[in-house]
Structure 1
Amino acid sequence: MATMNISLPDSLKADVDTRVQDGGYGTGSEYVRDLIRRDLDRQSLRQLLLDGASSPLDEQPYDEWIASLKERIRTHRG
C-alpha cells in the first residue's frame, strides 16, 4: 500500500479524530479512504446519470413496458 501525507487545518483534524473516536473508523486513514471511495462512487453515479440524460429516448420499449404493466394490472384484478 502506498503512503500519502496530507496537511489538515486543526479543525478538520479534530473532525477526523472525532469520527475515529465515535467508533465509525479504526483510524484516520480508514476515514479518508472511505471519503475517497464515496467521492469516486458519486462521480461514477453522476456520469451514469449524465449518460442517461443525454441518451436518445426510445419510445417503443416504454410503450411496451406500459402495455405489460396494464396487462399485469388487468390480470391481477381479475
Structure 2
Amino acid sequence: MSTMNISLPETLKTFVDTQISQRGYGTSSKYVRELIRKDQDRLQLPEKLLTGVSSAPTVPVDLA
C-alpha cells in the first residue's frame, strides 16, 4: 500500500478527528479511504445508470 501525506488547516483536522471518533473510524486513513471510495462511486454512477437503461428488459421475480 502506498503512503500519502496531506496538510490540513487546524479546523479541518479537528473536523476529521471528530468524524473518526463519532463515526467509528479507527484512523484518519480509514476515513479518507472511505471518502475516496464514495467519490469514486459517485463518479461511476452515471455510467452505471446508462448501462442499466440500455440493457435488455428483465422479468420481475415473485418472491412469494
The alignment's TM-score, normalised by the length of structure 1, stands at 0.59
Aligned 1:1-78 pairs, distance under 5 A: 1-49=1-49, 51=50
| RMSD of Structure 2 on Structure 1 (CA) | 2.7
Which portions of structure 1, spanning 4 or more consecutive aligned residues, are displaced by more than 6 angstroms?
none
1:23 positional shift? 4.3
Size of the aligned set, in residue pairs, is 59
Aligned residue identity for 1:28: S
1:74 aligned partner? none
Between structures 1 and 2, the one with greater helix share: 1
Question: Which structure is higher in RCO with an 8 Å CA cutoff and minimum separation 6?
Answer: 2
Question: Which structure has the larger Rg?
Answer: 1
Structure 2 length normalisation: TM-score? Answer: 0.70
**1:29-58 CA distances to partner (integer Å, 9 max, x unpaired)?**
100000000000111113333x35xx6xxx
Could you report, residue by residue, the CA deviation over 1:8-34 in whole angstroms, capped at 9, with x for unpaired residues?
111111111001122420001100000
Q: Distance in 2 between matches of 1:33 and 1:26?
A: 12
